[in-house]
Amino acid sequence: MSDTTFSTQTFTKYGFKLGNLSLAEKVIYWTIILTPLWWILGIQTILYPTVAAFLLVVRFKFDKIIKGSLPICNWAWLGMILVALWTNIIGLESIGFQILKTAATLFTLFKGYFLIFACLTLPFWHRIRVKVITRAVSWMSASYLVILTIQFLILFAIGPQKSFLPPLARLIPGDKLSLMIKFAVIQPFFGIPLPRTDLYTADPPILGVCALLCFFICLEESNRSLRKVSLIGCLAALLVSQSRLAWVCFPLVCSIIYCFRSGLARQAYLWVISLLTLFAAVLSLSLKDLIALPLTTFNNARADSSKDREYVVNATIDAWKKSPFVGWGFMEKTVSWGNGAFEMPLGTFSSYAQVLYIHGIFGFIIFILALVSTLCSFWQPAMFGNIICQRAFACLVALYLLLHATNLSWMAIYFWFFFIWLGAILSEVQQLNVTEWEELSNRF
């Protein structure tokens, strides 16, 4: 038996065979797996939307749009692109379309809302299977362990290292802070010095979001060994991110999935409200006080960070009120505190405040419509017992909660594969006929 035959049989035996990959699957598969390489080169923010745009253009035909059956959520995200572009143009016109500001603003739209729309649409125009995305994300999640090990060895053996900007990153328009290669550092958490890093992302909280989403994607991995390693990698990344909100969302996702499987999805909100009221009555506390107690502990874990975020969000809302309908069009103004020691652009924290500030009420309505329609797309198959749709629905709920602390248009680039995964699920679900839905319903 030749070495090639042995390798192929071994590869198949342990559940690694994916069958013949389409062009889109090959491109996406290796783009996800080689994430550490793109991170080191500093080209993540330009590569991912370019790949998505390329694959979209390759199979673009007006018939696909006119006669195609794209879900409502895809059209909602397309609407968000158009509204965002409209408000961007209004804002840029007020400053005379300065070259650098115009390039940075349009590039943010390209790697934000356009990327989301493209990723959700690609599986409807190309053959992109869920298991291919799952396998690629599993390998990438396994690489978390490798990079974390290297960073911790550097931190404890050599000491903290300064971040640096890769040479290729200098060619990309916009803020360069998100392109910096950063090393692990020691930061206090509940007063305890612990290592913290952001790996392939621009900020540790974004790593927490990525790790959370990757964990539930990797649960579907068919190879047991790879699944275990990838899940450990996700948990490790989630832990070192020190993202409090991501930690809270992890059991929330598990709870939502459990509610689907136990038939409590329709009654879950009643149970939650009832239990909170019962505990409040037993402890002789008002519902507001009951929520305030854990929230205070939650904020005290990183008290300065929580106060800074709240201050920036409040300043963003105040600025939005001066241009409520179409917003300001781009992130321009800043807010400072601590006698000028700290300064941040308005709209830095909270996607909801940012959308109001940049795109106004019109943009905010379309944004909420896009979020809700995407979530609703998974409700029916989840209720019929589709496990992957249940996980997708729960992950979206968590993501929408996490958007309160981080900008979607800024961090979407780091979990672009999540939207392709969602699109692939919707594409496969759409292919199921009524009989198969009934079989799924009876099975679960």
Residues 238 and 124: their CA atoms lie apart, in Å, by 32
**Which pLDDT band, with edges at 50, 70 and 90, does 172 fall under?**
confident
**Which pLDDT band, with edges at 50, 70 and 90, does 33 fall under?**
very high
What does each C-alpha distance from 203 to 54, 102, 199, 238, 313 come to in angstroms? 28, 25, 8, 13, 18
Highest mean pLDDT among 257-271, 341-355, 411-425: 411-425
Q: Are 335 and 315 in contact (CB under 8 A)?
A: yes
With a cut of 70, say whether residue 290 has pLDDT above it: no
pTM of the model: 0.85
Residues 52 and 28: their CA atoms lie apart, in Å, by 9
Highest mean pLDDT among 63-77, 249-263, 284-298: 249-263
Range name among 46-55, 131-140, 192-201 with the lowest pLDDT average: 192-201
Q: If you search the block for the tokens 């904020």, which residue do you land on?
A: 299
Q: pLDDT tens digit string along 218-269?
A: 999 989 999 999 999 999 999 998 888 889 889 989 988 888 877 655 565 5
Q: pLDDT tens digit string along 374-405?
A: 999 998 888 888 899 999 999 999 999 888 88
Q: pLDDT tens digit string along 107-166?
A: 889 999 999 999 999 999 889 999 999 999 999 999 999 999 999 999 888 888 888 888
Q: What percent of the chain has pLDDT over 70?
A: 79
Residues forming beta bridges with residue 193, ordered by sequence position: 188
Range name among 85-99, 360-374, 390-404 with the lowest pLDDT average: 85-99
State the average pLDDT over residues 346-371: 87
For residue 134, the tally of other CB atoms under 10 A from its CB is 23
**Element holding 271 (H helix, E strand):** helix 268-282
What does each C-alpha distance from 141 to 35, 46, 233, 326, 433 come to in angstroms? 10, 21, 6, 40, 34
Q: What is the pLDDT of residue 64?
A: 66
With a cut of 90, say whether residue 418 has pLDDT above it: yes
Residue 233 burial by CB count (10 A; 0-12/13-18/19+): exposed, middle or buried? Answer: buried
- List own/partner pairs for 14-23 with CB under 8 A and 24 or more apart: 14/223, 14/225, 15/222, 15/223, 15/224, 16/135, 16/223, 16/226, 18/129, 18/131, 18/132, 18/135, 21/132, 22/126, 22/127, 22/128, 23/58, 23/126
Report which of residues 442 and 226 the model is more confident about: 226
Range name among 49-53, 132-136, 174-178, 380-384 with the lowest pLDDT average: 174-178
With a cut of 80, say whether residue 363 has pLDDT above it: yes
